Amino acid sequence: MNKLAAYDIIRNPVVTEKSTMASEFNQVVFDVAVGASKPEIKAAVEQLFSVKVKAVNTLVRKGKVKRFRGQLGTRSDIKKAVVTLVEGQTIDISTGL
């Protein structure tokens, strides 16, 4: 996998209270491409951040139906990945790549 493909899979880190609390358990949360599989996410994180990944859990947040100027529209679905790292490994998401 080349670096551009890894950037297409890993969109951005999720910085919320819940994801910050998950960092205490060696977990990092990312928004990922909707079509990405767990092995692809694992390979992309290991390549971009030079860490060992223990597990990847994913979830899809369905897009809400919203109104805009009286017209119905739907927000995009978002896939999140909770990546658990091996003990002793860390990712500092505040510095960027």
Is the residue at 92 inside a domain?
no
pTM exceeds cut of 0.85: yes
Give CA–CA dist 52/84, Å, rounded. 9
Instruction: Measure the CA–CA gap between 75 and 93, rounded to whole angstroms.
Output: 26
In a domain, 71, yes or no: yes
Q: Is residue 7 assigned to a domain?
A: yes
Q: How many domains does the chain have?
A: 1
Range of the domain at 73: 3-85
Question: Does residue 53 form part of some domain?
Answer: yes
Rounded Cα–Cα distance for residues 59 and 18 (Å): 15
Domain membership flag for residue 93: no
At 69, which amino acid appears? R
CATH of the domain at 11: 3.30.70.330
Question: Tens place of pLDDT for every residue, the chain, 97 residues?
Answer: 788 899 999 999 999 999 999 999 999 999 999 999 999 999 999 999 999 999 999 999 999 999 999 999 999 999 999 999 999 999 888 776 6
pLDDT computed for residue 92 by the predictor: 85
Query: Residue 90 domain-assigned?
Result: no
Is 54 contained in some domain? yes
